[in-house]
Amino acid sequence: MEGIDHRIVSVNGIKMHIAEKGRGPVVLFLHGLPELCTRSPGFGDTEAPTSIISYTCDHIVNDLVALIDSLGVEQVFLVAHDWGAIMGWYLCLFKPERVKAFVCLSVPFTPRSPQMKPMDRMRGFFGDDYYICRFQAPGEIEVEMVEIGTANVLKTIFSIRKPGPPCFPKGNAFRIRSNASISLPSWLSEDELTYYVTKFDQKGFTGGLNYYRAIDLNWEVTEKWTGVREYIHNGGFKKDGLFLEEAVVMEGVGHFINQEKAEEIGSHIYDFIKKFKQILLVICALFLWVH
């Protein structure tokens, strides 16, 4: 896309790379793994703190608040996907006064369950090969990623279409046969893949994987929110804070709907912000396995 200005800003003790385009009300886009749009900590040209604690929801929300402050505004329209969407929900929960409206892609709000830590629950349901479980040991999955190469890792992630819980068995996490050719999805060009590869080769995947490694820490950080569970399920959360009006469901698409259906998603976002009435739009892919 032409006309994008790139710059580095200092926010909350880290240097963050942001991409800007256009004028008018600020729309903040937050990406997930492995996209590289507005850079969250650990991705691309943004600094990647080594401590997993730096990737907990309270730290990331503080980073986002500092970013919003640096833009000179009190509120932003928020558009987010994947891990960006998860952190977007936390931003709405912790700092609702900073978000004018939220367009969420692929990852709906998930209330905190007080009975069991998330990783224990995931292992119980899906086993140790479940991809989030495999990401937990620092350095382990990264070794396999290095062995098969950044390009093959990204091609595999972007090409996942099978419904259900993705599993990454040890020894061949990405199920890539020797000398096998992995085709790109039709919505991703070779130039785009090369750009992603270049950025991930700067720092590797550890920063992005640390978001998964902080899942149980997020559960601990949000303990005080357990008391609002009934408030959420009985409709109070929707009535007082989110004003959810519509969930758009797209059939025949995968997790990366923001790229696969970029024009349609862009139209939804534009129409939503244009007619904004303090409502929330959630866009999910049908049969999508979400975190």
Give the torsion sign (CA, 251, 252, 255, 257).
negative
CA-based diameter of the chain, in Å? 55
| Separation between Cα atoms, residue 94 and residue 248, nearest integer Å | 25
pLDDT of the residue at 272? 83
Q: Which amino acid is at 269?
A: I
Q: What is the pLDDT of residues 23-44, one digit of tens each?
A: 888 999 998 877 764 445 555 6
Task: Indicate if 255 belongs to the active site.
Answer: yes
Structural domains of the chain sorted by starting position, each given as residue range(s) with its CATH number in brackets: 5-116+204-285 (3.40.50.1820)
pLDDT of the residue at 216? 97
- Is residue 257's pLDDT more than 90? no
Q: Which amino acid is at 237?
A: F
Q: Return the axis-axis angle of helices 190-203 and 150-159, rounded to nearest 10°.
A: 120
| Separation between Cα atoms, residue 273 and residue 62, nearest integer Å | 25
For residues 131-165, one letter each, b for 16 or more C-beta atoms within 10 angstroms of the residue's C-beta and e for the rest, the string is bbbbbbeeeebbebbeebebbbbbbbbbeeeeeee
Pairing of strands 280-285, 244-250: parallel
Task: Indicate if 231 belongs to the active site.
Answer: no
Task: Indicate if 201 belongs to the active site.
Answer: no
Selected catalytic residue, list 31, 63, 82, 268: 82
- Is residue 163's pLDDT more than 90? no
Selected catalytic residue, list 17, 212, 268, 291: 212
Nearest one of 101, 91, 31 to 66, comparing CA atoms: 91
Hey, which residues does 16 pair with through a beta bridge? Answer: 9
Pairing of strands 76-81, 99-105: parallel
Q: How far apart are the first and last CA of the chain?
A: 29
- Is residue 133's pLDDT more than 60? yes
Selected catalytic residue, list 31, 59, 255, 291: 255
pLDDT of the residue at 65? 95
Q: What is the pLDDT of residues 202-249, one digit of tens each?
A: 888 888 899 999 999 999 998 877 765 555 556 655 554 556 666 777
Is residue 54 classed exposed, middle or buried when 0-12, 13-18 and 19+ CB atoms within 10 A define those classes?
buried
